[in-house]
Amino acid sequence: MASKMLMIPQVRQTSTQTFIPDKSLQKPFVNGSESSAIRPSVNLRRPSLLHTKQNTSVRVSSSPNNNTKALLSDIIKSITANVKGIVTVKSSIGDLLNVGIDEGLDDATDLLGRSILLELVSAELDTNGKERSTIKAYAHKSSLLDLGDVKYEVDFEVPKDFGQPGAILVQNQHHNEMFFKDIVLHGLPNGTLTFSCNSWVCSKYDNPQKRVFFANKSYLPSATPSGLRRLREEDKIRLRGNGQGERKRYDRIYDYDVYNDLGNPDLIPDHKRPVLGGEEHPYPRRCRTGRPPSLTDSQSESRYALLFYVPRDENFSAVKTVNFGAKTLYSALHALVPTLEGLLIEEDFPHFTAIDTLFDQGIKIPPNSNNKGLLKSVLPRLVKAASDVDDVLQYEPPETMDRDKFFWLRDQEFGRQTLAGLNPQCIQLVTEWPLKSNLDPSIYGPPESAITTEIIEKEIGGLMSVDEAIKQKKLFILDYNDLLLPYVEKVRQLSGTTLYGSRALFFLTPQGTLRPLAIELTRPPIDEKPQWKQVFTPCWDATGVWLWRIAKAHVLAHDSGIHQLVSHWLRTHCCTEPYIIATNRQLSSMHPIARLLNPHFRYTMQINGLARQLLINAGGIIESTFSPDKYSIQLSSDAYDKLWRFDNEGLPADLISRGLAVEDPSAPHGLKLTIEDYPFANDGLLIWDATKQWVTNYVNHYYSSASQVESDEELQAWWTEIRTVGHADKKDEPWWPVLKTPQDLIEIVTTMIWVTSGHHAAVNFGQYDYAGYFPNRATIARTNVPTEDPKPEEWKYFLEKPEGTLLQCLPTKIQATKVMTILDVLSSHSPDEEYIGEMSEPSWSEDPYIKAAFEQFSGRLKEIEGIIDERNANAELKNRTGAGVAPYELLKPFSGSGVTGKGVPNSISI
């Protein structure tokens, strides 16, 4: 058929009088039925095999005169409008599941012109208070666009009284899923209308239920146009699911579950792990997958899936998947571990120069290595050609090491990194003296610290007394004693690792730097041995110097574990997942707060699913390379139970809670910092203030009064679900913020955005720079300090080969190279990274006020870039500048791709 057929009203002419149509012809036809005999055509065209331009004329039998033709044409035009839709679909490039016979079927569907069924939904009810019937049409493939995008076109005949479309229903007629970028309607009375989708739409053969996309204008529930209210509610219900069954890859269902899938007892009995989430082990909730229980442990969920389920739109987009992200990390892990185990043996580095060879020579990869090609494709920065035949796994020197090869030995750097390093969120002000444990002394021994007044005053060198130092806020501490001590006995029963409770004390010098004063390591009573504790201080004799270095190695291993398990995983990745689930379950996609938060939630659930599968799982990277070993995530649960509270997750509240700041309305940011040169706090507060101003402008635009906040049923259900379901084990805590006013909402949302952007950037993108040279902060300490119950031969070896004793304490070759490779991947920015303040969301640009507020936010972040550069050039700021000192750039908002040590992405996307 050469063109689309048109249903033709047959009008029999018996005279030459002008034709007067029946009144029924004037009634708008909107239900899409093709059974009416004499009605104007609205969506009556049948698609042809070849999509030629639709004929809009009306034919009348018996060769009516020109006046009749013109009159009929005018009537049709007066009651309908031709609306053209452009649908942009991203190619599913790189998806191995979208190849094969289905591709051929989908090509045939495109040729038939029935690729996508679209239905326009009016935003308003009809005059009888009922929903208007939708207007249906099929989209046909039109052309290929840049970056592999595919353009589809569709024509709608829209009655003039249909009103403004507020939603569009979509059904994918292909056998494969499609990633819809947007749908743009042209020819409407009010101008162009855009539906920004950015979503996967599964095949109707997988799920025949039609998807709904709302126009870009945001609405509070009470302001929802009448024609969209039912769809708004139904869409949320679909996203919640029914809590039953195993989730399919194409599902978009958000529900909660406990962490019961980290162990794998079916594979290895010793890989059984406790359930995290509940009274015994409090923890945030994760996304429910519905997999059946393990065969050998009914409390554990089975782990047979190739990739753990996350709702389909939480996966990386097709382009991002190809460029970087979960696929890179997944491939690196699968290729890395067997390759390293084949290249190396589990042994110590014989000397420190052997560590240097990892950077200047690398590890030769044999030509017949099974994973050589995969390693080279996913780790091009590390796998280099040594010759025409051989390749090597050769590590890039981290910037810290490149500037100063011996940076890791300097005590000044030890102190500096507590403020401007990888874990700047754990240093606390000392406010009570003497130091004392809160653990049960009948189990863990005497609670008093062995760090005495005499030791500290000796190390201060007579500058002031301890009491005066505390009064002047000069003493600071990394205190991991009470968190780690309960695990010491259990960890020491494992092979290849050890543990202590630890404290490290610092003094604030007149130059604004932190000088390490003392390290205390404590072992509780074990095996009928009494509690053991010892204080180590910087020394000037050879034996003392090496004992101090070994004690530092232990404290830094503890700090590495707390950084990865608490500051990084728990406080960002893990605690954010319930926010994402609740947002999708309780806030409609047209809710302004959902649209404000969505950029900060992208891809986090996929990264978290991958972490459960390969990083924090039993026998995974964390357990095999960090001191707590199999108790690593259980330790994270204890930290959540004892330390985590939402009201302290915002940066100002966090600083105040640790004694690093006090409220001062006259000071910048309303805070007076206890340590003026605290790079993480100084730069972080710039990001925090800019973000809060943006959120304030946004929230106040939609909520002008407390009553609007309290009456927003979606918003109240969202906050209630986060507190009582997503963080169920904390639901009765008194510190949860109330949500009654716009100011309450501003604080809550700003905190969430800070955690997913600034906080995460500060603890993630410096991992390779600060830990790539692992002696600086090794992830594991494998041997006890030489002075704890020393055997004669061990002490003799220490005196003769102190370097060897330290190397025995540091990671093995396999542990070190495994961690170095993973940190390189985790520290990398994707080529299409989305940085905070860089790109406006389509819904924000729809509103002139929000658009202007975002442009102000974006401009401020560009100013912050320059401020940070100025600070890093200021020689007075000793924690940022100096000989061999790497500048602090982790909170510079923007970055290029790769391992750059800077850049603040919108979300936790790696």
Q: Which two tokens stand for residue 685?
A: 């507060």
Q: Does the structure show a pLDDT above 70 at 727?
A: yes
Most confident of the ranges 247-251, 254-258, 385-389: 254-258
Q: Is 760 a catalytic residue?
A: yes
| Banded pLDDT at 389 (limits 50, 70, 90) | low
pLDDT at residue 595 greater than cutoff 60:
yes
573 is a catalytic site residue: yes
What local confidence, expressed as pLDDT, does residue 33 receive?
35
Q: Regarding predicted confidence, which is higher, 109 or 488?
A: 488
Which helix (H) or strand (E) is 544 found in, with range?
helix 542-562
Confidence of residue 382 (pLDDT cuts 50, 70, 90): confident
Question: Which of these CATH numbers, 2.60.60.20, 3.40.50.10300, 3.50.50.60, 2.60.120.380, describes 75-215?
Answer: 2.60.60.20
What angle is formed at CA 607 by the lines to CA 601 and CA 613, rounded to 5 degrees? Answer: 145
* Proportion of the chain above pLDDT 90, given as a percent: 77
Alpha-carbon distance 257 to 276, whole Å?
Answer: 10
Radius of gyration of the chain (CA): 32
Non-local (6+) Cβ contacts of 839 within 8 A are 599
Confidence at residue 2, expressed as pLDDT on a 0 to 100 scale: 40
| Pair 103, 91: CB distance under 8 Å | no
568 a catalytic residue: yes
Q: Is the pLDDT of residue 550 over 90?
A: yes
Taking 60 as the threshold, does the pLDDT of residue 108 lie above it?
A: no
Residue type, 780: I
Q: What is the pLDDT of residue 148?
A: 72
Residues 237-252 have a mean pLDDT of: 95
pLDDT in tens, 772-788: 999 999 999 999 999 99
Please pick, among 365, 456, 633, 910, the residue that the annotation labels catalytic: 910
Question: Per-residue pLDDT tens for 279-337?
Answer: 999 999 999 999 999 999 999 999 988 789 999 999 865 545 554 555 666 666 666 77
User: Higher confidence at residue 96 or residue 782?
Assistant: 782
List the structure tokens of 142. Answer: 């039109």
Q: 5 or 476, which is more confident?
A: 476
Across all residues in the chain, what is the average pLDDT?
A: 88
Q: Which of 573, 591, 669, 759 is catalytic?
A: 573
Question: What integer pLDDT is reported at residue 371 of this predicted model?
Answer: 67
Out of 102-116, 572-586, 712-726, pick the least confident: 102-116
Please give the structure tokens belonging to residue 196: 């920004």
Res 123: pLDDT: 97
SS3 (DSSP) at 423: coil
> Which DSSP string do the residues of 33-89 spell out, in sequence order?
-S--SS---SS-PPPPSS-PPPP-----SS---HHHHHHHHHHHHHHEEEEEEEEEE
- How confident is residue 487, by pLDDT bands cut at 50, 70 and 90? very high
Q: Which residue has the tokens 């610092």?
A: 506
Q: Cα torsion at 480, 484, 488, 491 (round to 10°)?
A: -120
pTM over 0.85: yes
Q: Which of 423, 481, 764, 776 is catalytic?
A: 764
Phi-psi region of 898 (alpha: psi -120 to 50; beta: other; left: phi over 0): left
The lowest-confidence range among 144-158, 211-225, 706-720, 735-749 is 144-158
Query: How is 574-630 classified by DSSP, letter by letter?
Result: IHHHHHHHHHHHHS-TTSHHHHHHGGGTTTHHHHHHHIIIIISSTTSHHHHHSTTGG
Cβ(312)–Cβ(303) below 8 Å: no
For the chain, give every residue range classified as CATH 3.10.450.60: 426-559+775-809
- Average pLDDT, integer, range 655-666: 97
- What's the confidence (pLDDT) of residue 478? 98
Closest to 151 measured CA to CA, from 115, 120, 97: 115
**CATH placement of domain 426-559+775-809:** 3.10.450.60
- Our answer to whether residue 850 is catalytic in this structure is no
Q: What is the pLDDT of residue 114?
A: 81
- CB-count exposure of residue 691 (10 Å: 0-12, 13-18, 19+): buried
User: DSSP letter string over 737-792?
Assistant: PP--SHHHHHHHHHHHHHIIIIIHHHHHTTHHHHHSSGGGS-S---S--TTSS--H
How high is the pLDDT of residue 18? 34
31-40, 607-616, 724-733: which range is least confident on average?
Answer: 31-40
Read off the amino acid at residue 281. H
CATH 2.60.60.20 residue ranges of the chain are: 75-215
DSSP structure string for 697-724? HHHHHH--SHHHHHH-HHHHHHHHHIII
Predicted pLDDT at 6: 33
Segment 821-870, tens digit of pLDDT: 899 989 999 888 999 999 999 999 999 999 999 999 999 999 999 999 99
Higher pLDDT, 466 or 371: 466
Higher pLDDT, 58 or 223: 223
Whether pLDDT at 26 is above 90: no
Which residue in 760, 780, 850, 906 is the catalytic one? 760
Mean predicted confidence (pLDDT) in 365-393: 71
Predicted pLDDT of residue 641: 98
Cα-based distances in Å from 466 to 368, 438, 471, 475, 506: 63, 22, 8, 8, 12
Which of the four pLDDT bands, split at 50, 70 and 90, describes residue 387? low
- In the chain, the percentage of residues whose pLDDT exceeds 70 is 85
Residue type, 523: R
pLDDT at 7: 36
